[in-house]
Structure 1
Amino acid sequence: MNKDMDISALQAEKKRNQGSLKMRAWSYNYLMKPSTLGVLVLFGLLLVVLFIPPVIGMGDDGSTAAIISGSNLYNLGELSPKEALAFFQKDWGIMEYFNDTGNAQITAQTPFLNAARNLDRVYTWDGLFDMRFYGAVIAFFYLIAMYFLFETVTYGKRATWTYIIVGLGVIIFGDTAYTAWVNSFYPQALSFFLVTILGSSLILMGQEKLNDYLLIGCFFLSALLLCLLNQQYALLGLFLGILGINLKYVDKKKHFQRICVICGSLLLLSSLAAFFIMPNELSKLSTYHSMTRGVLMTADNPEQALEEFSINPQYAVLTGTSYYQAISPETMDSQEMAATFFSKVNPTGVAIYYLANPGQLYEMLNRSVDSSFNIRPAWLGNYEITQGYPPGAQTSFFTLWSYLKANYLPGNFGFIIIWTGVLIGVYVRFFRKGIIEKNERNTLRFVGLMTWLFIGLWELYVAIITSGDTDTLGHLFIFSLTFDLISFVILGKFIHWLEKQLRKVDWEARKQAFLQRNKDKQKNREQRGYRL
């Protein structure tokens, strides 16, 4: 009897040990993996910043009112317009009846907002919408994007350098200047993870690290949602659609090639449809600034620049002014101003003007790059009014990267040209090798990075022609993000190369040589002292 009990106890102990070993193996394979560990750290940061008081978010400038209305939400009116800029507003109203406001707008944000609103109703059912539910939905996809990004630089290894580069990634992309956008209705948080997934999925496909069908699905879905954010992003779909169709050469499987051709074609059509159907969000304010804070401000002769647009040269007195400091509101809204100024200015005309005047374009690019490196608009506060902080107060928690970037990186387009040269110099050989060997996968690392570069430069140029040097919320955010994404991947490559070079060094031999040199020096000193 005792013998049977001992055997049973031993078997139970053996099962426990096996279970413990399996748990340790699972923890090592997944939880201790650099990418997973980085995502877990970011999850903790998001939890502290976005969900635990004092809750961090972004003030509201009113530009997202149509998006909010499109998801049957409304502003409770607890803050004045000035206070709404200076403080984060966590609670919003949920419409109980048919939305007849007439200004509702449906974009790629709408499904995410609707999902967050439904989650809020399930958990609270109090008639109010807590912004943190939307933050939770966006944070989920943000973490997926970060996992993809970390996978592109770790190559599946557990070497010391992989943990170092993932740690740097946490510092860069976990910066509160980025994560605070998650608790807001601005499209920046959505564009953050969409752009990240776009490039990362291409690089991972080249590395053959994840399932091709998963990655191609992520690429096309991210591209579609990005193009549907607003009209100004729509034309990106033309480039991304053509790129998607050409991905058919990556794999010879018929199903894969059909998916690429069909999804790429649909993306092209959706992009064109979105451009013509979605409302043009360019306001009189943006049109005004594209001239006064762009064309006229950088022109040697503003009167002559106005003549090229068939505008009365007398409007040169507006050079360098903002919309609110120029003329009285009555004059700005007058039919005369509409006919003689606003009707003659459009993005196409401004773009053609800059192409004909590259010196002015370069000056505007310098100004825009400098502005883009500060992704924390000074006029938007981060705290709720009930938390006792002064108006417009911004958090300093976990903001090392945004501080260094805004204050110490060269904010000019010449630096971007040099930086682009480094990017091409490092990665073009992979592209060339892939072309020579007819192995399209080897080209995808370069293609992924160049996709980020194209998107960033496109948005930089669009910002200039639509808003002059005043748009630091929209297009310049994407340029700043793509700069960080590409820099992070290049930095990972450099750290990997440096670690490989250090591994080749025979440190023991160098140590012995160093000790021997010290002994020889000591011996020489003793001999000189003996002679004296």
Structure 2
Amino acid sequence: MAAIISGILLFVPPIHGLADNGDFYRSILSNGIYRLPTSYSQYSDFVITKFGIMQYFNENNVSVLSSQTIFIQIALLLNKLFYSRTIFDIRFMGLVYYLFYLGGIYLLTNAFVRPYRKVKSYVMGLLIVFIFADSAYTLYFNSFFAEPGMFILMLYLCASIISLARNIYSRRWPMTFLFFISTILLITNKQQNAPLALSFGVVAIGIMFLPHFRARRMATALGIVLVLMSGVGIYKSIGSEIVGANTFQTFSHGTLLETSDPTKKIERGGVDGQFALMRNENYYSKNYATLDPGSKYVKKHLMDKTGFAWIVRYYAGNLKQFNNLLDVAAKDVTAVQPRAVGNFVRNSGHKPGEQVKYFTVYSSLMGAFFPGKYAFDCLLAIGFIAVYSVGFYLDIKAKRYMGILRFFLIFGLMTVVVFVPIVSIVGDGDADLAKHLFLVPVSLNMSLLMFISDLINHTLWNTEGDEVSE
């Protein structure tokens, strides 16, 4: 079902995807792909399907270190083998993600339904399709955004832990290896993912509790160290231009928002009040900008004064404003499908910037009914952790491991739900919030699926009947 639903969306003409909001250049130039000249704008309104492949020396440095390059290079190879060595078709990008995605859906479904083969297994299968085959997720595949890689790697990461917890496979090392590979690739997929090393480092602790695993515990400990190092490495790789863009947008889309008098507040922080005029402006402005964010004047009088420490001090002195911004983030948690870009190709008969409604029931329901309050998200996280801590305690006493691995997975996913909005607001304000919060709804949906699975299988607090004897 996932293959059919997403295959129609991605490959049946007229194809669908996501238009470029200006971020594609970070991925394509360093991979030898460029925009073909056109008489119309290639941004925001329509999905661009054809790009050029560089035939000569690529003078563009790698602006962003990312594991996304692996997916792009596989797509380039397939494109050159089966289509063209000079023109790149975006559907090859979609095909690569599509194949990896189906593998993730298979592993996740297998982890949730085994060892059961009853009606409830089909209920879980349908729920997985309903949630994770939603077009809000799969539209990303026909694009150069980093999010589809993050989504797919989360499927593999969670499927591997659930498989280990339920003892699905006779050998544990393949799923353990898959977990660490998926985690490291996820963290290095995007610079903003660096803090996730802590969240998934916590998840990995659960693997240490597997029985008859002493010989491999040292390898697991090494894996945890590599996960943490990948977070440090991807953070250190952030270039000065990206740091500048994030600093500027944290100021213009963060500290200047949700306040009636931003001038006085920033002046108390030692910044000239005239910079309040830059409210809501982007570092890469599409239209006229009050001041050039990259100018020496802005760098000297604004950027050099408003670093990370200044932002933290500012929000510490304006907690009400910070809470309002977190509520803004909470409203965007369910906005998986970016609203600022179109999903249709040019000449498809659709308006510029028009959005796909095909198989978006789940994301639409979540967007309509999920409370847009950060406090609710925190209470939900506490609730999930509290519920699964009971199974953790009982399995510790009974020397079982399913509840232990499951607890650490839930705990790690809930840290994503709680802390990613904070990191996003402090790091980039409300600019591109839906994309920055992408892993929050994925984590919530994965936790919800696990909760439903445990309820219908009666394993929420008693996992004894779920383990398969070795």
Q: TM-score, normalised by structure 2?
A: 0.88
1:182 correspondence with 2:141: yes
- Secondary structure at 1:377's aligned position in 2? coil
TM-fit CA distance, 1:120: 1.2
CA distance in 1 between counterparts of 2:313 and 2:399 reads 39
Task: Identify which range, 476-485 or 325-334, moves more after superposition.
Answer: 325-334
Task: Identify which range, 217-226 or 139-148, moves more after superposition.
Answer: 139-148
Tell me if structure 1 keeps the 8 A contact 2:207–2:405. no
CA distance in 2 between counterparts of 1:497 and 1:230 reads 38
1:200 correspondence with 2:159: yes
Aligned match for 2:336, one of 375, 379, 392: 375
TM-fit CA distance, 1:337: 2.0
TM-fit CA distance, 1:96: 1.1
Q: 1:13 aligns to what?
A: none
More helix by share: 1
Q: 1:462 aligns to what?
A: 423
Q: 1:517 aligns to what?
A: none
TM-fit CA distance, 1:207: 1.4
Aligned match for 1:71, one of 25, 28, 31: 31
Distance 1:418 1:151, change over 3 A: farther
Deviations 1:320-368 (A, max 9, x none): 6666599845454442222111222223432454355443332221110
- Secondary structure at 1:99's aligned position in 2? coil
TM-fit CA distance, 1:117: 0.7
RMSD of aligned residue pairs (Cα, Å) = 2.8
TM-fit CA distance, 1:495: 4.2
Report % sequence identity.
25
TM-fit CA distance, 1:105: 4.0
Q: 2:174 aligns to what?
A: 214
Which segments of structure 1 move beyond 6 Å, counting only runs of 4 or more? none
Residue identity in the other structure for 2:139 = A
Structure 1 unmatched runs, 5+ = 1-40, 499-532
- Secondary structure at 1:474's aligned position in 2? helix
Residue identity in the other structure for 1:197 = Y
TM-fit CA distance, 1:132: 1.3
CA distance in 1 between counterparts of 2:290 and 2:324 reads 30
Aligned match for 1:426, one of 355, 370, 387: 387
- Secondary structure at 1:93's aligned position in 2? strand
Tell me if structure 2 keeps the 8 A contact 1:246–1:260. no
Task: Identify which range, 431-440 or 178-187, moves more after superposition.
Answer: 431-440
- Secondary structure at 2:437's aligned position in 1? helix
Tell me if structure 1 keeps the 8 A contact 2:381–2:418. no
Residue identity in the other structure for 2:440 = F
Deviations 1:163-191 (A, max 9, x none): 12321221111111111001111011000
- Secondary structure at 1:92's aligned position in 2? strand
1:153 correspondence with 2:127: no
Q: 2:17 aligns to what?
A: 57
Q: TM-score, normalised by structure 1?
A: 0.79
Larger radius of gyration: 1
Residue identity in the other structure for 1:187 = A
Tell me if structure 2 keeps the 8 A contact 1:152–1:203. yes
Structure 2 unmatched runs, 5+ = 460-470
1:4-403 → structure 2 map (5 Å cutoff): 41-78=1-38, 80-81=40-41, 83-102=42-61, 104-210=63-169, 211-241=171-201, 243-244=203-204, 247-279=207-239, 282=242, 284-299=244-259, 302-303=262-263, 305-307=265-267, 309-319=269-279, 328-330=289-291, 332-355=293-316, 357-403=318-364
Deviations 1:83-118 (A, max 9, x none): 431111111111111101345544101111111111
Deviations 1:296-328 (A, max 9, x none): 323576345324542124434555666659984
Aligned match for 1:417, one of 365, 378, 382: 378
Residue identity in the other structure for 2:109 = F
Deviations 1:204-241 (A, max 9, x none): 21111133111111111111111212322123224434
Task: Identify which range, 97-106 or 190-199, moves more after superposition.
Answer: 97-106
CA distance in 1 between counterparts of 2:277 and 2:31 reads 43
CA distance in 1 between counterparts of 2:456 and 2:259 reads 44
Tell me if structure 2 keeps the 8 A contact 1:431–1:443. yes
Q: 2:437 aligns to what?
A: 476
Distance 1:376 1:213, change over 3 A: same
- Secondary structure at 2:44's aligned position in 1? helix
TM-fit CA distance, 1:158: 2.1
Tell me if structure 2 keeps the 8 A contact 1:94–1:129. yes
Identify which of structures 1 and 2 has the higher relative contact order when contacts are C-alpha pairs closer than 8 Å and 6+ apart: 2
CA distance in 2 between counterparts of 1:370 and 1:62 reads 24
* Aligned residue pair count: 458
Tell me if structure 1 keeps the 8 A contact 2:51–2:88. yes
